[in-house]
Structure 1
Amino acid sequence: MPAGGTSTFHGAQVIENGEIRKEPEYLTSFWTDHALKFIDQSAKNPDKPFFLFLAYNGPYGLSRYQLKPSGNRHEKFYADKKMPSFPRGVIHPWEYNNREYFGNPVSIRRYGEELSAVDDGVGSVMKKLKDLGLDDNTLVIFAADQGWAGGQHGFWGMGDHTRPINAFDFSMKIPMIFRQPGKIPAGNTPDIHVTNYDFMPSVLSYLGMADQMPTEPKSPGRDFSKAMLGEKTDKWD
């Protein structure tokens, strides 16, 4: 995306094959469509590993468009929903930027609409891998860059955007799921606190490529691949 961030989900500028153009399709669906095409193309060379980085930019909580419905296929479903799981309490005094979204039924429903579109996309990718017989031989990582608040503790939006920074669960407990049937035990939830810095050493170790970890500059990341496999990790503070 030329702007380097999200300004709209319809008619957004995208860079495709070096060309900048406006994309009329709902942006989350657009990313999904391209991911599925990439997997289909990669499957034609079964002996060649592939890497797919699918970075959905929704749900997104910083722009004015949160004051209107999403316009995606889930809008009608959410139109009359009360969404009681979103707290409607007192706005925290540290919440400066998103006060008009807090407790706003349109903004709350919009979040549900955007999240359901991501659910569609992830489901389509997982189905594609299974249909092509690739799911057992593919490491799938589902993660996010930061947490999100939907009214919890009086906050709305990106978890790390409060001033001062908070340390509530919605900021610290960011989704991180690793999946590969037959290798990673299902339902395993390690009781350790990891960060995005730990991604590279852990994934390289899991793939048997620990020797490819760069030595300069020295990374603060640590290897939690044993925890992924359900094994006891070394001392982890």
Structure 2
Amino acid sequence: MDLKHRKMTLLLLIVWFPCVVAKTNIILFIADDLGYGDIGCYGNHSVRTPNIDSIASDGIKMTQHLAAASLCTPSRSALLTGRYPVRTGMASPVMMRVIAWASSSCGLPSSEITFAEQTKKAGYMNGLFGKWHLGIHKQRLGDFEHHPLKQGFDYFYGPIYSNLGDFGGESRIITGLMPGWYGKLFSIWAVTAVALLCLFREDYFGAIPFIVFILIWSVPLALVYLLFENFTLLNSFVYRNYDLVEQPVRFAGLSQRLVNEGLDFIQNATNSGKPFLLVMSWVHTHTFLTTSKQFEGRSKFGRYGEALEELDWSVGQILKSVKEFGIDDNTLVYFTSDHGGHLEEGTEGGFNGILKGGKSHGASDGAIRVPGLIKWPRVLEKGKVTDEPTSLMDIYNLVSSVAGVSLPADRHIDGRDILPLLKGGVLVSPHDFLFHYCGNILHAARYRPRDGIKTWKLVTREPDYIPGTTVCQFTCNCNTDVLATPKLYDITVDPGETTPIDSHSKNYKEITPIILKAMGIHKNSIEPAETEFTLRKLAPNLTWQPCCNGTFPFNCYCTDPKYPE
């Protein structure tokens, strides 16, 4: 080869080589409590969601995309780790299935390897903006063992906890869970006081012991009352990395602040030449529903519609910036929700379409079937739809594959490689079975045979619905009775789970034993994991209580100085 050809070859290599080695950027959008039927590409033509819908038209829509849990904390842990919460200690054996107090020691174990830790191995810059809800401290105040920056992220900005109606002063989570709670609390106190009065009659023990015992008994009841009546002070704040910058959260305008942080992150990562993982974990459409003024009154569906349109606008701003930076073709974009809409919230809780049930309902499809949209312009075809069962846990495998990192070999990963399915190279889900939990109790399982087109679902426990309805008393109980005869559904033709297969039919007799056997094998594959959901870990520790300007509970009010208005 002469010198002229050598130079030409070298020039071509210089131009071509960066295109070969450039790693794909990854953007994950996670909505909060968004119903399966809330956005346009899943059939809702009443609320405008053009930006979210564009991900479907520019990529793939998954119609049977499933969360691993029907509540925030366990579902998000499964997404981050690719593992069922029961494997990681994030499946609750008690009534409380989410982290209830920011000052508790409950959280995602540091021994788990998140997808952010996976991309970090490949030199990615990782940012999380928005809701976390997977804990802060573990052993002591300030150790931040459960914080996002200890779980593979380089940057974090957002509410470390969640978004609740309590923060708007409109409702109380405790009275939602237990109507008449304060009346019951006072009744317990009064009954006890009368009993003590009878026991400590003046002619028997005297009045002083009675007064002392009444005071001692009043302390725990008063503490419970103060805790739940001050939920905002105890749980509403925004962190920037390890710094508490806002207390309580100003939810009006929070979406705009999250967008600004996300845009800054993209610019910084792009300017540095590093590939990036950006997780935008929106607070919409979880109640408390508050938007900026520009979205007030825009939707005929009230505050829920306004929040949904603001969510769509937020997604659009990130997508627009990706195009403006010229990295659209080399960026994978994924959109989902952590679980289904909260039916018990009524019109402000989301819409799950024809699916049965919703948030907290365990195995009902309305609780766990969520929007699942992926676009990757240089890899995936536009406008395709897959009806095959897929899982939020599969995103762990997908992110690891895109980053060029092997899966951890020292643990069971429940996610599967769905890229061949998305590309169209295979037509059947990589999951033979998917298992549906309520807390740490297995309630149902999905079966996708390797032939045909059908997906079957066997339900062994059902939610404790209010008679005549498909809703619970704010949240559902997991420890319900095992069905004497499990219910089998053909989810392909009956996604609403309205008509169980006849237990005397050939299909029932052939399919049910297969699924029951798989459930047994799955249970045996679960290695014991220390649960994070003990009463001790869940309980608030007021000595760990965050306070931005002083010592709790004094002067715990501040506004993020970066966004003073």
Same fold (TM over 0.5): yes
Cα gap change, 1:208 to 1:72, in 2 (>3 Å): same
Counterparts of 1:104-143 in structure 2, within 5 Å, are: 109-143=302-336
CA–CA separation in structure 1 for the residues paired with 2:382 and 2:325? 21
Q: Which amino acid in the other structure matches residue 257 of structure 2?
A: F
> SS state of the match for residue 189, structure 1?
strand
Cα gap change, 1:183 to 1:156, in 2 (>3 Å): same
Query: Residue by residue, what CA displacement relative to the aligned partner does 1:33-73 show, whole Å, maximum 9, x if unpaired?
Result: 10011111111123x21111110011103xxx45xx64542
Q: Does 1:52 align with 2:278?
A: yes
Count of equivalent residues: 197
Q: Which amino acid in the other structure matches residue 318 of structure 2?
A: V
Query: Residue by residue, what CA displacement relative to the aligned partner does 1:81-135 show, whole Å, maximum 9, x if unpaired?
Result: 2x4xxxxxxxxxxxxxxxxxxxxxxxxx111111111111110001000011011
Q: Is the 8 A contact 1:141 1:178 kept in 2?
A: yes
> SS state of the match for residue 216, structure 1?
coil
| Alpha-carbon distance, 1:155 to partner | 10
Q: Does 1:180 align with 2:376?
A: yes
Residue aligning to 1:226:
420
Residue aligning to 2:237:
13
CA–CA separation in structure 2 for the residues paired with 1:145 and 1:5? 13
Q: Which amino acid in the other structure matches residue 167 of structure 1?
A: S
Counterparts of 1:1-237 in structure 2, within 5 Å, are: 4-7=161-164, 8=167, 13-22=237-246, 24=250, 26-46=253-273, 48-61=274-287, 65=288, 70-78=291-299, 81=300, 83=301, 109-148=302-341, 156=349, 159-162=358-361, 165=362, 167-168=364-365, 170-205=366-401, 207=402, 209=404, 212-233=406-427, 236=431, 237=448
Q: Which amino acid in the other structure matches residue 33 of structure 1?
A: N
Cα gap change, 1:177 to 1:213, in 2 (>3 Å): same
> SS state of the match for residue 389, structure 2?
coil
Q: Which amino acid in the other structure matches residue 381 of structure 2?
A: P
TM-score, length-normalised on structure 2? 0.32
CA–CA separation in structure 1 for the residues paired with 2:336 and 2:369? 11
Highest Rg: 1 or 2? 2
> SS state of the match for residue 147, structure 1?
coil
CA–CA separation in structure 1 for the residues paired with 2:309 and 2:326? 26
| Alpha-carbon distance, 1:171 to partner | 2.6
> RMSD over aligned Cα, in angstroms?
3.1
Aligned sequence identity (%):
24
| Alpha-carbon distance, 1:159 to partner | 2.2
Cα gap change, 1:15 to 1:166, in 2 (>3 Å): same
CA–CA separation in structure 1 for the residues paired with 2:159 and 2:298? 32
Q: Is the 8 A contact 2:253 2:291 kept in 1?
A: no
> SS state of the match for residue 51, structure 1?
strand
Which range moves more in the overlay, 24-33 or 186-195? 24-33
Q: Is the 8 A contact 2:291 2:310 kept in 1?
A: no
Bigger share in strand: 2
| Alpha-carbon distance, 1:216 to partner | 1.9
Residue aligning to 2:555:
none
> SS state of the match for residue 15, structure 1?
strand
Q: Is the 8 A contact 1:2 1:20 kept in 2?
A: no
CA–CA separation in structure 1 for the residues paired with 2:424 and 2:388? 12
Cα gap change, 1:166 to 1:222, in 2 (>3 Å): closer
Residue aligning to 1:90:
none
Q: Is the 8 A contact 2:237 2:244 kept in 1?
A: yes
In structure 2, runs of 5+ residues without a counterpart are 1-157, 169-231, 351-356, 432-447, 449-565
Residue aligning to 1:100:
none
| Alpha-carbon distance, 1:149 to partner | 5.1
CA–CA separation in structure 2 for the residues paired with 1:213 and 1:198? 12
CA–CA separation in structure 1 for the residues paired with 2:342 and 2:159? 28
Q: Which amino acid in the other structure matches residue 141 of structure 1?
A: Y
CA–CA separation in structure 2 for the residues paired with 1:44 and 1:155? 41
Q: Which amino acid in the other structure matches residue 237 of structure 2?
A: Q
Cα gap change, 1:38 to 1:154, in 2 (>3 Å): closer
In structure 1, runs of 5+ residues without a counterpart are 84-108
| Alpha-carbon distance, 1:18 to partner | 2.3
Cα gap change, 1:115 to 1:128, in 2 (>3 Å): same
> SS state of the match for residue 122, structure 1?
helix
Q: Which amino acid in the other structure matches residue 77 of structure 1?
A: R
| Alpha-carbon distance, 1:219 to partner | 1.3
Q: Is the 8 A contact 1:29 1:117 kept in 2?
A: no
> SS state of the match for residue 334, structure 2?
strand
CA–CA separation in structure 2 for the residues paired with 1:75 and 1:18? 33
Q: Which amino acid in the other structure matches residue 139 of structure 1?
A: L
CA–CA separation in structure 2 for the residues paired with 1:233 and 1:203? 21
